[in-house]
Amino acid sequence: MDSGQHAEPRRSGAFRTILSLLVMVAFVFGLSWALRTFVFQPYEIPSGSMENTIMTGDMVFSEKISYYLRDPEPGDIVTFQDPEIPGRVLIKRCIAVGGQTVDLVDGRVVVDGVALDEPYTRGLPSEPLKTALGVEVSYPYTVPAGHLWVMGDNRTNSNDSRYFGAIDEDTLTGRAALVYWPFSNFGLLD
């Protein structure tokens, strides 16, 4: 046998190996993209606006499946596009949905005439904030259809709907479901 007969099968075997590897890498990248786009997205929490529920520096997963199956509800911790800074994502708690009326009375949040029981605020008062330029919020405030009223759990350190108004449901990127890092803070969010 001459060496020319063996070279062809080796080349084709190497080509198949490289092609298989490229297909596998493309599959992994495609699967990763699909999971991040349609199933879940990791986020690092940059500020203390949700303390003590979620701490600065915590890493959370925001899942997207819930909102394919149901509408956002009061109490959900949601991630959404920042109404002021394109490309930035914020995380806050949904307090009221379209059609509900929000009021701030003596440091308490009142929705449809009922004061909310909010143990996650650690008793911090919920006072009105100076609003963003071009935003008008007066109380009582009726949330427009297709919008959400969101607030940080750390009410004295959160620019939220008191500042930028109700957010459009179309800006939601998911529902925060799990703190996964640091492991000492690991747990489901509610």
The pLDDT tens digits for 26-53 are 777 766 776 666 666 888 898 999 999 9
* Average pLDDT score over residue span 95-124: 95
C-alpha torsion angle, residues 120, 125, 126, 127 (rounded to 10): -170
Q: Domains of the chain: which residue ranges?
A: 1-38, 42-188
* Whether pLDDT at 1 is above 90: no
Return d(Cα 39, Cα 68) in angstroms, integer: 10
pLDDT of residue 187: 86
Judged by average pLDDT, the poorest of 53-67, 69-83, 120-134, 157-171 is 120-134
pLDDT of residue 12: 77
pLDDT of residue 177: 93
* Whether pLDDT at 7 is above 70: no
pLDDT of residue 38: 65
pLDDT of residue 34: 64
List the one residue out of 154, 177, 148 whose CA is nearest residue 66: 177
Return d(Cα 119, Cα 99) in angstroms, integer: 24
Query: pLDDT (tens digit, 9 = 90+) per residue, 139-181?
Result: 999 999 999 999 999 999 999 999 999 999 999 999 999 999 9
pLDDT of residue 114: 97
pLDDT of residue 190: 78
* Whether pLDDT at 2 is above 70: no
- The token duo for 66 is 């819930």
pTM (predicted TM-score): 0.82
- Mind telling me the catalytic residues? 49, 92
Q: Which CATH superfamily is domain 42-188 in?
A: Umud Fragment, subunit A (2.10.109.10)
* Whether pLDDT at 3 is above 80: no
Return d(Cα 33, Cα 48) in angstroms, integer: 29
Judged by average pLDDT, the poorest of 1-5, 29-33, 73-77, 141-145 is 1-5
